[in-house]
Structure 1
Amino acid sequence: MAGTALTGTSVAGLMAELAALEDPRAREVNEKHGDDHGVNLSKLRAVAKRLKTQQELALELWDTGDTAARLLALLICRPKAFGRDELDGMLRAARTPKVHDWLVNYVVKKNPNAEELRLAWFADPDPVVASAGWALTSERVVKQPEGLDIPGLLDVIEAEMKGAPDRLQWAMNTCLAHIGIAHAGQRDRAVSIGERLEVLKDYPTSPGCTSPFAPSWIAEMVRRQHEN
């Protein structure tokens, strides 16, 4: 992934600006979640808003390998400009959770190669790559379920989620919850799987927030749907 920064905006200058925004306390919190940056994300978004869309600059920021710079790159890039192989390489290089999450949600989901990448990543032997395939599958479960084998997805979740590595397990659990929320005909089975596997049952949840434990998550979102 290579490019040339636009005249008047240097990568070096932006790296210095990001370094100045570093907050040791934010880094300490982020590192507990596997991320290695200490830039407040609201301040990062303010920088991106000032820069607007600059694809070539985004390419150079990504190539630095710095997490904060890559997050900024994902905010100012042009999602549809990337090729399939380019996105595949970027995902495999995105090892920190926040970069991985933003790449999938802000870029890949808006790219015309999203479905092809979903299919390729879904069964990838690398669990972090596979988690991206599951995240894209959750998107389809909610927005474009036609053609998906929902019972088949539940079969895989039932068989593999309990023993899956953390990030893959989280993505599979999210898909399980979305199936239960969006597909009433599969809701009882989704809840049953969640109750039996007990994945994330004891996950600490702040007051007022919805638990990621699938049965609780499904129940709360269905309740809200009925209220509306």
Structure 2
Amino acid sequence: MTPAAADALAELAALEDPKARAVNERHGDAHGVNLSKLRAVAKHVGMNTDLARELWATDDVAGQLLALLIAKPRELSTDEIDGMVRSTRSSKAHDWLVNYIAKKSPLAEELRRGWIDDAEADARAAGWSLTTVRVMKTPDGIDLDGLLDRIERELADAPSREQWAMNETLANIGIRHPSLRDRAVAIGERLQVLADYPTSPGCTSPFAPLWIAEMVRRQS
């Protein structure tokens, strides 16, 4: 391990809070570092993809989160990003990997196509997250009706992370594409996925029919 990696891990270890770890572990994240403090570490470390690779290889969750903040997406290959999505054991690291690396990578479409039909549910979840970006920003060339067909078949029984990402695609098809809105709402109503999800006052429900209705209302 290089001195830079050892120093970064030591700094993270010094920030470890047992109470924070207990809370994080209940949500699938085996670390006890406050995320604001972790971001402060990333800021003074600076962008460094080689260091990020080394931190990721340690399998230390806080180290991997730091890695995702300091890696430059364009400097990571398809195989590297694919390997990262398969090796993470942290819910937060999975989310950050998708949002901070995969979505910003020039290889995003290649990754999306490879992941969405993958045998591993976490890879498929990442593929659906990238598909939502296509639905929202660059829908030309993507088969929206075909996506709805697949969502209708698979959403109810999908593993939780994949289900959440797939539901996001469903909602955004309904929000962004008026000609398919009624069908998207009907699928959500029939499947009832996330219909009972607890939602705080003032927040939008992730239940697709309610989500679609609220976002369309805001646009009008």
> Taking structure 1 as the reference length, what is the TM-score of the superposition?
0.92
Measure how far apart 1:171 and its partner are. 0.9
Cα offset, 1:17, TM superposition: 1.4
Deviation at 1:202, TM superposition (A): 0.8
User: Whole-Å Cα distance in 1 between the matches of residues 124 and 21 of structure 2?
Assistant: 27
The match for 2:144 among 150, 155, 170 is 150
1:42 to 2:51 alignment? no
For 1:32-78, what per-residue CA distance to the aligned partner results, in whole angstroms no more than 9, with x for missing partners?
A: 22121121111111111111211221111111111110110110111
* SS of residue paired to 1:28: helix
Range 24-33 or range 163-172, more displaced: 24-33
Structure 1 portions without partners, runs of 5+ = none
Aligned pair partner of 1:23 in 17, 24, 27: 17
Q: 1-side partners of 2:33 and 2:199: how far apart?
A: 24
Does 2:77 align with 1:83? yes
Residues matched between the structures, number: 220
How far apart are 1:26 and its partner, in Å? 2.2
Q: Counterpart of 1:71?
A: 65
Q: Letter of the 2:19 partner, please give it.
A: R
1:125 is paired with a residue whose SS is coil
Match of 1:208 in 2: 202
Aligned to 1:221: 215
Q: Which residue number in structure 2 is paired with residue 196 of structure 1?
A: 190
**Equivalent position amino acid for 1:155 in 2:** D
Show structure 2 runs of 5+ residues with no match.
none
- Of the candidates 7, 14, 18, which is equivalent to residue 13 of structure 1? 7
CA shift digits 1:111-169 (9 cap, x unpaired): 12211111010001111111111010001000110101001100100111001111111
Which one-letter code corresponds to 1:148 in the other structure?
I
Residue aligned with 1:206, SS? coil
Query: Per-residue deviation at 1:10?
Result: 2.1
SS of residue in 2 equivalent to 1:162: helix
For residue 218 of structure 2, what is the amino acid of its counterpart? R
**Structure 1 residue matching 2:202: 3-state secondary structure:** coil
Which amino acid letter does the alignment assign opposite residue 114 of structure 1? A
Aligned-partner residue type, residue 122 of structure 1: I
1:180 aligns with 2:170: no
Distance 1:29 1:219, change over 3 A: farther
Per-residue Cα deviation, 1:170-189 (whole angstroms, up to 9, x for no partner)? 11111111111111111111
The whole-number CA distance in structure 2 between the counterparts of 1:162 and 1:221 is 23
What is the TM-score when the length of structure 2 is the normalising length? 0.95
Q: How does 1:40-189 map to 2 (within 5 A)?
A: 40-189=34-183
Secondary structure, aligned partner of 2:219: helix
Percent identity between the two aligned chains: 63
